[in-house]
Structure 1
Amino acid sequence: MRVLSIVILVAIGVLALIGMNSFYTVRQDYQALILEFGNPVAVRNEYDVNEQGQEIDEAGLFFKLPWHEVIYLDRKNMGTDIADIEVLASDQRRLSVDAFVRWRITDPLKFYQRLRSERAATSQLQRFTESAIRDALGQVPVPEIVSGQRGQLMSDIRETVNGTLNGTGIEIIDVRLRQADLPAEVAEGVYNRMRTERQQVAQGIRSEGEEQARLVRARADREATVLKAQAREQAEQIRGEGDARRNDIYANAYSKDAEFFRFQRALIACENSIEDGTQVVVAPQDLDLCRVFIDQARTAGGN
């Protein structure tokens, strides 16, 4: 009885172990390849799309035989960096290029037969992509790589890598050139040359500006001289008209009272001839200094 119980327990344990190894789950973001003694026999949740362009989802719980092996492969889009690629452009200038590749496994069976693992696939992908980048960028000059045909170049590289990896179960979704710069040892010389060229251009612009400034200043000085001459001419004309008007007023005043006019002029002449602080020595009989100016004015007037 005891032996029978032990046999039953062992049988239950074996059945439980077989049951545990007979089921497996496949997540939505993975696809599974079933191997029987190393040979592929089935694929679960393989990447595929329906007629509407939507991905077919077969994730879930599945049954397998205990001796079957399950290999899980990523179903998502994966990325691989291609860094520090030395490229010689068609104009014989070297560039240091960084690229980024997006890819996915579309046929797990072919992928396993040709590449076995994602690590091996990444290594192959890097090698083929580097070769395609060098071939594509080596046919165009640097300006076209930096800003000209960059989009077309990336499309050509993607098609080349897809053609090279045809039959491996991999699809290249996109190839992007993230950066294309001159190597550090070359960049400094190029930047110095560019800086010298810009300085020459700036000096030329400054020289033209100074020449234009001199022309503007000369024109302004000439216009200022003309304006000053015209102003002096107008001032002399106005001054002459004022003197004429003043003489007319004096003449009218003289004709009305000649004696008063001579007296007033004599006083003005006397006042203007003697300044403050002037020392005058006269005889006692000549104390009336202004009398001399009055007598002279009377004599000049004929009285």
Structure 2
Amino acid sequence: MRNCLTGFVELLKTMSDVVTKPGSESTAGRRLARRALRTLVLWGAVFAVIALLASCVVFVDETQYVIVERLGTIAAVYDREEDRGLQFKLPWPISTVRTFDRRLQLLDPPGRELFTGDKKNITVDTYVCWRIAPTSAESSTELSDRPVVRFFRALGNVSTAEDRLMSRLQSLLSAEFGRVELTDLLSVENSEAGPQGDSSMESLTERLKSRFEKSEEGATSPRDALGIEIVDVRIKRINLPEANRFAVFERMKSERQKIADRYRSAGLAQNTVIRSQADRQREEILAKADADAQRIRGTGEAEALRILNQAHAQDPEFYRFERTLQSYHKILNERTTLVLSASSALLKLLTEGIPDIQEPQPETKPADPPTETPAAEKNVSQSSATPDTISEKTRAEATK
């Protein structure tokens, strides 16, 4: 085609040059011009035939419905599986072709502000998935009964169909949302799981879809009236208007703060209970430990006294002498002045010297203990207590 147009332009230039040349060359120029004109007419006829033959061929794509009109009357409709491929018709302008998209169409209008049953304004975003209804195998053979023909006669094109669907959608949304309250729309059983299958939002969507599939008069469906099949109608989002969104957020924050305070107070109460129980158990354990310690200490002290008494009973005179020396060590120093009586035990040790101390005899355990043992133990106790008494008296005198 490009080469033909280039040759045609060159031919026109040659003809203009020949016509403008004067003299003897004009005859040859006219002869060449006539030849070029015949070539031009021949090429024009070839192009006309090719265009005429091309207008007689219709290629039906798998994503399209095709309607062929003959002088304003529908002559053929290609809307079935077996109609795909090349089809033939009368040349233009006797027959004309109209194509329609058979794929799914998505109508996504902008969000609209609506009022609920409790007079609360919300913004609702929805979408509608639709398409030109396919022709079933059991449908009538009449061309006027085909869904694509109904769509063409009722709406004409996709933009008109979307305007019609949008107006219908807005009226249905206003009617349906006017019957429910905002609390019913936003309430869920479990905030983590989200809306369940039997929620108010789901039932509202089902009612909206069922009413959308009916015509405005309620007698026939959009498929029968407009040739449109409604595949799905869904509510994408329910939001609050910008004017009162901040106030709602603040109220939500205050409610969450109350819930947090309630949980915090419950935690503090539980903390107090746990601490009181722990303190009570601590006191019980400490009291039991103190009682065990006192019992063990008393047992140890009793055992120490028993061992001490046994040691004193072996040599009371040596014990008395040792205690007297300990008393000297405690009360005597460079500045000590003692005033003692002549009968003082401390003075006797200084004047009489160390008494004779007999070596202790090895203790033999008799078979039967004598009956005088308590008296002997009493004497031993008295003799062992004498140095302590002397020491106390001596301290008192030294203090005076």
| TM-score after normalising by structure 2 | 0.62
Which consecutive unaligned segments of at least 5 residues does structure 2 have? 1-33, 134-146, 187-194, 216-221, 338-344, 351-382, 390-400
Contact 1:95–1:181 (CA under 8 A) maintained in structure 2: yes
Of residues 59, 65, 90 in structure 1, which corresponds to 2:90? 65
Residue 85 (structure 1) shift = 1.8
Q: How does 1:18-57 map to 2 (within 5 A)?
A: 18-44=52-78, 46=79, 56-57=81-82
| Alignment match, 1:117 | 157
2:180 counterpart of 1:140: yes
RMSD across aligned positions (CA): 3.4
Provide the C-alpha distance between the structure 2 equivalents of 1:92 and 1:131, rounded to a whole number of angstroms: 17
* C-alpha distance after superposition, 1:211-244 (max 9, x if no partner): 3322332333333333333322322222222221
- Candidates 258, 263, 273, aligned match of 1:215: 273
State the structure with bigger RCO (CA 8 A, min sep 6), 1 or 2.
1
Please list every run of 5 or more consecutive structure 1 residues that lacks an aligned counterpart in the other structure. 49-55, 284-290
The superposition leaves residues 176-206 of structure 1 with CA deviations (integer Å, 9 ceiling, x where unpaired) of 1111122222222222112111111211222
User: Does the 8 A contact of 2:319 with 2:384 survive in 1?
Assistant: no
Correspondence for 1:206 among 264, 284, 291: 264
Query: Which stretch of structure 1 is more off in the superposition, 11-20 or 189-198?
Result: 11-20
Are the equivalent residues in 2 in contact too, given 1:34–1:71 (CA < 8 A)? yes
> Which amino acid is the alignment partner of residue 170 of structure 1?
I
Within the candidate set 281, 300, 303, 2:386 is matched to 300
Show the counterpart of 2:366.
none
Distance in 2, matches of 1:182 and 1:241, equals: 82
Native 8 Å contact 1:82 1:130 kept in 2: no
Inter-CA distance 293–240: structure 2 relative to 1 (3 Å threshold):
farther
Amino acid of the structure 1 residue aligned with 2:52:
I
The structure whose residues are more often strand, as a share, is 1
Structure 1 residues 299 and 231: alpha-carbon distance in aligned structure 2, compared to 1, 3 A threshold? closer
Q: Which amino acid aligns with 2:275?
A: R
1:162 pairs with 2:213: yes
1:8 to 1:212, Cα distance in 2 relative to 1, 3 A: closer
1:182 paired residue among 230, 240, 259: 240
Q: Distance in 1 between matches of 2:160 and 2:305?
A: 118
Aligned length: 285
Mark the structure with the bigger radius of gyration: 2
SS at the partner of 2:99?
strand
Quote the sequence identity (%).
27
Q: Does 1:224 align with 2:246?
A: no
Shift of 1:7: 7.5
* Inter-partner Cα distance in structure 2 for 1:87 and 1:37: 48
Q: Relative to structure 2, which stretch is displaced further, 34-43 or 104-113?
A: 34-43
Give the TM-score taking structure 1 as reference length: 0.80
SS in 2 for 1:28: coil
